[in-house]
A and B are shown apart, each in its own frame.
Chain A
Amino acid sequence: MRQNLLEIKDLHVMYRTDDDQIYALNGVNLKVELGKTLGLVGETGAGKTTTALSIMRLLPDRVGFIQRGEIYLAGQNLLKLSEGEMRLLRGNEISMIFQDPMTSLNPIHTVGKQIAEVLELHNPELKKGMIEAKVDELMEMVGIPADRKGEYPHQFSGGMKQRIVIAMALACNPKLLLADEPTTALDVTIQAQVLKMMNKLKEKLKTSMILITHDLGVVAQICDAVAIMYAGEIIEMGTVEDIFNNQQHHPYTVALFGSIPDMTQKTDRLNPIAGLMPDPASLPPGCRFAERCPHCLEICRTTSPRVVSKQSHQIKCHLFTGAEGLRDQDQKTRI
């Protein structure tokens, strides 16, 4: 049987601001198998970061609340743990690369010192000399000459800071790595280097990963599974083959793929998905994508669709909730 390292069930998260209640996650179901990488994609505001912060139990104090749901790491419900127990897991079993690198960097210490600290914490048996050698190795692996380890974060470019944070996260040898848009500030050559490092970690230590990204090219390259998120729900999920090769998809997934600028084609204007995601403070009844959906049916505006699945492929859309359901994978007609 396949083993799930992480399993999220019916997760609801709300942010309370001065005058609004923002429903950021509305029943998220997700699982990550041992040693596999799940790509979590979706528009800005979909709830990707909120999902990761919930797993870390690092939602902003007195603002973000987990209202309902369960999060299991290797069978243990994280939501039942005390803050002290959680602190032991963070940085050990679970490690997160934050969207903003300065969340994890201390401006008053050199980057070399900060990487060394992480290494010491996780490898108490290592001698000082070994630690220094490992710091050099990690820096070179993310493409920064090791002779710059004596510099402070402000002396590095945006992308270089991000790479240092990646080096620190990988130094922890975590069981679960949550990477929140780790390569958005990087050019493709450095990105390739970083993705390769992450793959090595996966092979060597069977690390499971959630890779939050808006780059479907990156997903195609290194993910095993994909979950597509919209307005706080997973609207489609499956293996990379399901998402990239199958013919049937949630209309939002189709729109998302359609908005990628095509490098091989000459176009003057790009094709953003028309319309906006619904305001998370007042979500519509029914399907959240209905407003923008080219295939919207009457039922879509009133009733939230159930999840229809075929093997590993799941879609939450009324187009497939009829008796027919999802077709077999080898049929090649487009929706």
Chain B
Amino acid sequence: MDVPLIQTKNLKKYFNNKTGSLHAVDGVNISINEGETLGVVGESGCGKSTLGRVVLRLLEPTDGEVLFAGESILSYNRKKMKDMRKQMQIIFQDPFASLNPRMTLSEIIAEPIKVCKVLTKKKDILERVFELMKTVGLAERFVNTYPHELDGGRRQRIGVARALALNPQFIVCDEPVSALDVSIQAQILNLMMDLQDSLGLTYMFISHDLSVVKHISAHIAVMYLGQCVEMAATDQLFENPSHPYTRALLDAIPIPSLKHRKEINVIQGEVTSPINPKPGCRFAPRCPQVSSDCLLPGLSLQEIEPDHFVACTLYQEQER
């Protein structure tokens, strides 16, 4: 079998907090095949951004492994990691906050090229900038504009162009379209899918919005409080959502029609704190199908059908 391009093994990131240890990412195992997209969804604060940053080693993990094409990158020294970084880029949610307001569009896109000294001649750099602008659909006349002069959609195209500047293989997209309206969202998603086809890119696509992730991902991982609770091929996840949290997530999508206007359904129960969490399922206090088993330690992802994994006592077969 082919080696996945990206793989994490029991990956953990804990933050030391005044009141204890905050388990932002707590034993996550994911893998992404080359040229595919893994969608990562989950509640706000469940650790999606932290996971993305740890995978890129922008944050050092507390424990676990990150493998790139089968090789552990955590043991890489600074120089080797710097080379590695060219292969792995990130696009952020807020194109405005992540772009330097005092730099023109061409300076922003050229920055990684200059920093990594991939090209040195001014003329070559500018040529590459124009090429990248064309790739992401930015007209040449914008080359000297500043980010605040552009709308959100164009700003996000700059973010995409900059991420592509070093010809990466893998891009973490951290909510790249969340700040955009549906129409511009659609434009950027189409662009990202086209780029994936033409350049063979591999994405980890973080979003809190299932309808966005659905369009772009081959597989989806659902996270809850630092852990992956369900992982499946996209179609399977939507056809047969199995973890009670995944179901709640699908049920809560507001539908743009008055037929569905009803009393807003809220998941009842107290939110578990990620600080020094107790063993057992972290969704248990809010789960409609909770039983005493849910408080036992040792819950793990089980394959309930080919390529569909769930971590929930409803599906645990082995003894705990």
Contacts and interface: CB of A to CB of B under 8 A. Distances in A.
Given A155-B15, A159-B45, A259 B264 contact: no
Interface stretch (B104-112, B159-167, B185-193, B300-308): B185-193
Contacts of B30: none
Interface string B254-277: 111110110011110011110100
A34 interface: no
B45 A157 contact: yes
Interface in B189-221: 189-190, 193, 208-212, 214-215
Contacts of B180: 44, 214
Interface in A26-42: 42
Contact of A187 (B18, B189, B209, B265): B209
Interface stretch (B36-44, B60-68, B75-83, B127-135): B36-44
A256 to B, nearest CB: 7
B1 interface: no
Contact of A263 (B94, B184, B211, B258): B211
Given A144-B271, A159-B45, A187-B249, A271 B186 contact: yes
Interface string A131-156: 00000000010011101101100011
A220 B187 contact: no
A191 interface: yes
Interface of B: 15, 17-19, 41-45, 49, 93-94, 97, 149, 151-153, 175, 178-187, 189-190, 193, 208-212, 214-215, 248-249, 252-258, 260-261, 264-267, 270-273, 275
B123 to A, nearest CB: 28
Given A100-B97, A159-B45, A260-B182, A222 B258 contact: no
A148 B193 CA distance: 39
A199 B212 CA distance: 27
Interface size class of A (residues with CB under 8 A): 35 or more
B182 A192 contact: no
Contacts of B260: 220-221
Given A151-B18, A185-B208, A221 B189 contact: no
A196 B264 contact: yes
Interface stretch (A81-89, A119-127, A240-248): A240-248
Given A195-B264, A270-B186, A147 B255 contact: no
A156 B266 contact: no
A222 B261 CA distance: 8
B93 A185 contact: yes
A157 B258 contact: no
Contacts of B19: 147-148, 150
A18 to B, nearest CB: 9
Contacts of B182: 214-216, 256, 259-261
A190 interface: yes
Nearest to A270: B186
Given A151-B17, A187-B43, A187-B249, A220 B264 contact: no
A240 B185 CA distance: 24
A219 interface: yes
Contacts of B272: 145
